[in-house]
Amino acid sequence: MGVVKRILVPEADRAELERIVRASSSEVRMVERARIVLCAGEGLKGLEITELLGCSEPTVIKWRARYARTGFWGCGTRRGRGGR
- Tell me the per-residue pLDDT of 32-41, one tens digit each, with 9 for 90 and over: 999 999 999 9
36 assigned to some structural domain:
yes
User: CB of 67 within 8 A of CB of 74?
Assistant: yes
6 assigned to some structural domain:
no
The pLDDT score that the predictor gives to residue 2 is 55
How many domains in the chain?
1
80 assigned to some structural domain:
no
Closest by CA to 36, choosing from 7, 70, 1, 79, is 7
Q: The domain spanning residue 22 has which CATH number?
A: 1.10.10
The pLDDT score that the predictor gives to residue 35 is 96
The ranges of the chain with pLDDT < 70 are 1-5, 74-84
Residue type, 84: R
Q: pTM score, two decimals? A: 0.83
- State which residues form the domain around 52: 11-75
